[in-house]
Structure 1
Amino acid sequence: MPGFADSFWSSDYAAANSFFLSFLFLGLGILFSKLQQGVIENRQLLIVSRMRAEAEELYGQKLGEIPLTVDKVQGGFSRDDGASVRKAYEGVRTEMEDAARNHRKIAQNIRDLVVNPFSRWCDAHEARIQDSQDELQTRIKTHDRQLEQVKKLRNNYFNKSRLLEDLEEENKLAFQDPETSPKNKIPEIKVDKEEGPEEEEEPYEIGDETYQPDQVKKILAHMLNNIKMGETKVPILGTYQNTSAGSDIVEYLQKNMNTSSVSYAERIGQDLVTHGFLRLVGNVGNTFANSSKMSYQWRPKAFQLSGVPEKKAALGRTFSLNAAGNDPNSIDSPVIGTVNEYLEKWNMLGTAFPNETPSDRMRREAREADERYKAGVRRLDELRCELEEAIFDHLRFLERCELDRLKAIKTVVLDFSGTISNVIPSLQSTVDKLVLYQETVQPLGDLRYLLENYRTGSFIPKVVTYENYYNRVDEDTFGVDLEARARADKKRVPIVVTTLLTYLDHHYPDLEGDEARRNVWLIEVPLHQVHKLRAKVNHGKTFSPEILQEFDIPTIASLLKLYLRELPDSLVSSHVYEIIRTIYQTPAGEMPDDARRVPVLQQTLSQLRLTNIATLDACMNHFTRLIELTSADETYVTALATTIAPCVLRPRVESSLTMEERHAYRLVRDLFAHKDAIFSELKRLSALTHSSSISRPSGNLAAATAPGVGGGPGNGGVGNRPRAISTDESNRKAHMEERTRALLEKANGGRSRATSPAPSPRASTHRRERSIGGPETRFPIQTSPTASGERHRQSIGPILGVKRSSLEVPGDGIAAAGIVDPSTTGANGGASGLEASALPADGTSSGSPADKRSNVNRSSVRFVGGRRIVPVAAGGSAGATGASTAGAAAPASESGSVDESGSHRHSQYAVTLVDRPMD
């Protein structure tokens, strides 16, 4: 069951424009309204007990008056001493006295056991609730003020940065030609038109409130008409009109603006000075104080805004220094105004930057505004953390208070029934009902009812991060978008996540027993301790794991949960929340089984960004490995999934409907159960998406020219074997040069050639090799003795290695080596032809086993310019190797040149290919 600490939060618990609205209509306001309702319930129960005691007391008094009243009657049962009827009467009379005594005892017991102790407890309980409410109000109000200050600092920083950027752009364009230089007056006109109305409509912040211009107009008009104004004479400077003493202004503020203290009134007066409505006369500076000796002049701005006419100076009164040049529209002397402005700007004359250029001043101001904004954000973050800690502490405290109140009511009802049942057996049936009533009071049930019907949301902190003008995220780690953080870290998963998970993996063995390891993720760590660790790593940089050694393992796990909760969006984005809801809201009869639900989850999670998928995969790997290694039972898996569900999936807006949904929990359970199936498919889809970005032509070329394709030595003669796409670019330049030279030689050949009918060793590429001669001389075979001098080679560059016009085969091995059945070869010129070519012409095996292995299994085949080149090996295997690829002229030409000093040196007969017309 969730507690107060995780139930009465709201999305803008500390970010509303009005503090009272945010407090009254959000989570804390609802909670305190229910707690105040409990205080009233205590009073009602106390009133019932007190009135029952008074009723019992009155009833006892009336019963006690019965014997006294009866005894006043003379001549009745008192005259009959031995009658049985008198004994019955006296018994009845005695029962009346006993009944009166019993009822008075009941009244006294109710006061002693119920009214007095419960009254004291109710007063203390009400004081505790009020103290918590007052403290949280103060903290939230402080946070709101700092938030408004941060907004102002942010606007100032952005304005300064924008002005600096404009100045730098102007400096860049300053020395260009007149044709390209912009006109100087156009920006000035646009700025005046755009910025003028914004300054007029800007609201005023006076004290703790923000007023619109029309409200300020009414306030100033009322102040000018009710505050005492007069003249103030200042030696040398002359006489100031429309002045008021500081004490008069403070007195007005206390009467009309409900200022609770003099300091708050002085702060309002200081804001009036800051906005230009007042100024100090006769002294240096502009500080407002509650003093009758300090006078403040109402400036013309106040009269213009309020519409109250100014009080002009008398016509006959002049000043010796301003006899000439008086402005009839101003109540101040030019000399007096000049001297006053001189005194006000005394510090500006003694500036610390005397030789500063305008561009340097703008850079300095932008830098200072940036530093102030950073400091304000850090202060706001500190206040927010302190506020959240205080809210956590108070919510837990208030939960205990409410539980104690319910238990106290249970005790009061029990004591109330006991005071009656122990004295009056005749009221046993009533007492039994009271006992039954007190047995029906269930404190935990009432607390659960309160949570289920009035909770406003779980703990999802709203982080105000530093917004850099240039969109850099190197100042914060927490509260930053996950993909932006990963991009800044240059990792697929943010470094903070991998560091924390790795640290936990390394330190699980330090814990004693699997129970301690499993409880790492279930222990509730105090928020102030987690914030202490957060402050040490929240700097936007990579942090050392040594920092984590200062804290225990549950704090590290809680820091990771806090990081996931402070993300702007949940790990599984809220955009797919409705899809997840649809998956799990299927009726029980139509609910798909795991085999049908897993593909739907795969398709849904594939919509997430790669960073979210990778981070989710890392977390699920960690949790499933922890569950497996510690042999966790179903109870622990349920508790773990419930704990991390808000960290994995949250709705975009939490409402009373989403709070009761358990889709996030069921998603986590499915991720636990089907992690391998889900994430293997997601990784496959990610790999396909990534590989689709590779160029298709280059991929085909690499596949066609990769060693081992087809029947070459690289694959051991196995045809159609799938090969990975080669991305080797180490010899790209050399291959391009060879290809260029081959194209040039081919273009200069000047002869068109028909395609060769011989099968290519690279049949899978559907390329056909061309013979050397023209179409009129195709494959005539002449059997004649051939001398070694008749053999010649024709080189066309490195694209084909070495190409020749005649192919010599030993005479004894014509049938074995010169004519090869294509059916005996592989699909792409496979191992069969290659192994046949490795034998000498006489059909016997020559050379050592090592030579055979070198010729066949480890042949140094290389690919140049899209063709397979087989270098000539030493010894008797060279000729055979060249003559064995597919048994045709074109494959033989690709296999390289035959060394004239090789295995053909002993042959006297050969088959020679001569360029001449066919018979």
Structure 2
Amino acid sequence: MANASDDIAPAADKVGGGFSRDDGASVRKAYDGVRTEMEDASRNHRKIAQSIRDLVVNPFARWCDAHESRIQDSQDELQARIKAHDRQVEVVKKLRSAYFNKCRLAEDIEEENKLAFQDPETSPKVNKNIPEIKVSPQKEEQEDEVYEIGDETYDAEQVKKILSHMMNTIKMGETKVPILGTYSNTSCGSDIVEYLQRHMGTTSVSYSERIGQDLVANGFLRLIGNVGNNFANSSKLFYQWRPKAFQISGIPDKKASISRTFSMPTSPESGSDSPVVGAVSEYLSGWNVLNNQHPNETPPERMRREARETDEKYKAGVKKLDELRCDLEEAMFIHLKFLERCELDRLKAIKTVVLDFSGTIGNVIPSLQSTVDHMILYQETIQPGGDLRYLLENYRTGRFAPKVVTYENYYNKVDEQTFGVDLEARARADKKRVPIIVTTLLTYLDHHYPDLEGDEARRGIWLAEVQLPQVHKLRAKVNNGKPFTPEILAEFDIPTIAHLLKLYLLELPGAFEQLWSI
């Protein structure tokens, strides 16, 4: 019985479901332990989340907003400068067109007046069917006329033979010029020089150019489609044979003679030999003497005055455009350097965020310490300087290539500007084989090379980083087409002067294409 009661007693302590009271207490205890651990884990997770939010997410979000605002503000400022520059480019184009048109109109009116007051015997518009009465004294006077061409002098009969042979031999055609129209009876400068060397025995290109310039000076040729009236050996420069050349040589002019009056036909089929005579007629038809501020002016004088006025406006427009371009280049350099600093700051911020995040979770959850160690190891591989250099080397767009819009004088004068002018034209204006600015800068550097210690220091002045505004400041002082004294250069350091020469070469027409071809 004793053994049976011992067996029955524990069974009596069992409750429904087959568990004893002791088993229920242990379950509750285990449940309480698990709940406590879960509550602790939940508090830790909330603490981690709050720490991540306060120490990582919110600061980084504020930094991102400020970073975006900085980038956008700099870009907006640069875009405003670009738009101002583009607007001025369009203004300069219109001013250039107006200036060239005024000069062309003045030139055509002068040509009209010359033809209008010629004697019937010398006018090219004489009807061949009408008998001509030639006065012998006038003929003798005409034959006695002497022309100086090159180093020789020729009488009228010799010049007639020369011009006749030239105009029958040299290729002659039509040349279309934007804005101004189409010119007939034109030949390029290289063809004329080739003829002179082959048939007139000129020994050098320079002497051939002298003869060509004499042909221009004597009124046989004129430069078209370009500024000025200088003769040069170039396949891109075209010269029109003037009516005087046809008159003396006796060759019929393919171009219709210019009308002596300003009246124009109204029918569209009846065109004009001059592309701007219609504009002249329209201008003179609206001319009111009573409203004229210069009542004593003749039409040619008025045209010349208006040409001078448009010339001054055009010069001022080009000068303003050049200043805007220099300011824009300086702003672009500042913007790019600012972006470089911003990108470096962004890489450093990413590195800091990774480090703060790993430190936040590592201080609260010791079990994640191994993961945190790996994160710290990975963030060590982030090198802002090296990553920035990789971006610059792989995503660069090209070298600094400034493009200058220069003032183009109708009469081929380049006396008022130095930078951006064709090298040959600048040397011709300076009457030197090398432009004066190049020789002046190199001479100044040669005199100051002995002050530098060693070849490394001398080489360093060409490689030193110089602020572009400083170079532009010196450029503005010497960009007037005139020789300058070393006293102007003495205000600046040697690297700035060396970079001014580099800038001059970069701003030469076609310098960018030649640089890329090297």
TM-score, length basis structure 2: 0.62
Question: Which amino acid in 1 is paired with 2:448?
Answer: H
Deviation at 1:138, TM superposition (A): 0.9
The aligned residue for residue 692 of structure 1 is: none
Matched, 1:95 2:50: no
- Between the aligned partners of 1:487 and 1:80, the Cα distance in structure 2 is 116
Matched, 1:465 2:406: yes
CA-to-partner distance for each residue in 1:776-827, whole Å, 9 max, x for gaps? Answer: xxxxxxxxxxxxxxxxxxxxxxxxxxxxxxxxxxxxxxxxxxxxxxxxxxxx
Deviation at 1:453, TM superposition (A): 3.9
Question: Which amino acid in 1 is paired with 2:84?
Answer: T
* Aligned residue runs from structure 1 range 446-845, under 5 A: 446-511=387-452, 516-570=457-511, 574=514, 650-651=515-516, 664=518
Matched, 1:442 2:442: no
CA-to-partner distance for each residue in 1:166-190, whole Å, 9 max, x for gaps? Answer: 1222233333222442555488464
- Between the aligned partners of 2:110 and 2:420, the Cα distance in structure 1 is 32
Contact kept, 8 Å, 2:401 with 2:506, in 1: the verdict is yes
The aligned residue for residue 175 of structure 1 is: 117
Runs of 4+ in 1 over 6 A off after TM superposition: 79-88, 195-198
Contact kept, 8 Å, 1:481 with 1:569, in 2: the verdict is no
Contact kept, 8 Å, 2:112 with 2:259, in 1: the verdict is no
Deviation at 1:435, TM superposition (A): 2.9
Deviation at 1:420, TM superposition (A): 1.4
The aligned residue for residue 318 of structure 2 is: 377
- Between the aligned partners of 2:503 and 2:402, the Cα distance in structure 1 is 9
Cα distance 1:419–1:349, how it changes in 2: closer, same or farther (>3 A)? Answer: farther
The aligned residue for residue 354 of structure 1 is: 295
Question: Which amino acid in 1 is paired with 2:68?
Answer: E
CA-to-partner distance for each residue in 1:637-672, whole Å, 9 max, x for gaps? Answer: xxxxxxxxxxxxx126xxxxxxxxxxx5xxxxxxxx
Cα distance 1:512–1:98, how it changes in 2: closer, same or farther (>3 A)? Answer: farther
Matched, 1:117 2:59: yes
Aligned residue for 1:430, secondary structure, equals helix
Deviation at 1:358, TM superposition (A): 0.9
The aligned residue for residue 167 of structure 2 is: none
* Aligned residue runs from structure 1 range 407-422, under 5 A: 407-422=348-363
Matched, 1:152 2:17: no
CA-to-partner distance for each residue in 1:489-520, whole Å, 9 max, x for gaps? Answer: 22222211111111112223445676654432
Deviation at 1:543, TM superposition (A): 0.8
Aligned residue for 2:511, secondary structure, equals coil
- Between the aligned partners of 1:563 and 1:387, the Cα distance in structure 2 is 17
State the superposition RMSD in angstroms.
3.4
Contact kept, 8 Å, 1:80 with 1:86, in 2: the verdict is no
Cα distance 1:402–1:168, how it changes in 2: closer, same or farther (>3 A)? Answer: same
Cα distance 1:424–1:356, how it changes in 2: closer, same or farther (>3 A)? Answer: same
Deviation at 1:197, TM superposition (A): 11
Cα distance 1:197–1:369, how it changes in 2: closer, same or farther (>3 A)? Answer: closer
- Between the aligned partners of 2:384 and 2:484, the Cα distance in structure 1 is 47
The aligned residue for residue 69 of structure 2 is: 127
Cα distance 1:191–1:366, how it changes in 2: closer, same or farther (>3 A)? Answer: farther
Work out the percentage of aligned pairs sharing the same amino acid. 78
Structure 1: segments with no counterpart, 5+ residues? 1-76, 199-341, 575-649, 653-663, 665-919
- Between the aligned partners of 2:498 and 2:326, the Cα distance in structure 1 is 18
Deviation at 1:363, TM superposition (A): 0.7
- Between the aligned partners of 1:495 and 1:406, the Cα distance in structure 2 is 49
Question: Which amino acid in 2 is paired with 1:171?
Answer: N
Deviation at 1:569, TM superposition (A): 2.9
Deviation at 1:101, TM superposition (A): 2.0
Contact kept, 8 Å, 1:479 with 1:563, in 2: the verdict is yes
Cα distance 1:522–1:87, how it changes in 2: closer, same or farther (>3 A)? Answer: farther
Structure 2: segments with no counterpart, 5+ residues? 1-18, 126-257, 265-269, 280-285
> What count of residue pairs does the alignment treat as equivalent?
356
Cα distance 1:164–1:434, how it changes in 2: closer, same or farther (>3 A)? Answer: same
Task: Compare CA radii of gyration and give the structure with the larger one.
Answer: 1
CA-to-partner distance for each residue in 1:274-306, whole Å, 9 max, x for gaps? Answer: xxxxxxxxxxxxxxxxxxxxxxxxxxxxxxxxx
Question: Which amino acid in 2 is paired with 1:164?
Answer: A
* Aligned residue runs from structure 1 range 282-361, under 5 A: 349=290, 351-361=292-302
- Between the aligned partners of 1:460 and 1:510, the Cα distance in structure 2 is 32
Contact kept, 8 Å, 1:460 with 1:566, in 2: the verdict is yes
The aligned residue for residue 105 of structure 2 is: 163
Aligned residue for 1:427, secondary structure, equals helix
- Between the aligned partners of 1:132 and 1:179, the Cα distance in structure 2 is 73
The aligned residue for residue 238 of structure 2 is: none
- Between the aligned partners of 1:102 and 1:144, the Cα distance in structure 2 is 61
Aligned residue for 1:463, secondary structure, equals coil
Deviation at 1:397, TM superposition (A): 0.9
- Between the aligned partners of 2:485 and 2:274, the Cα distance in structure 1 is 53
- Between the aligned partners of 1:88 and 1:398, the Cα distance in structure 2 is 60
Aligned residue for 1:550, secondary structure, equals coil
CA-to-partner distance for each residue in 1:889-918, whole Å, 9 max, x for gaps? Answer: xxxxxxxxxxxxxxxxxxxxxxxxxxxxxx
- Between the aligned partners of 1:538 and 1:447, the Cα distance in structure 2 is 38
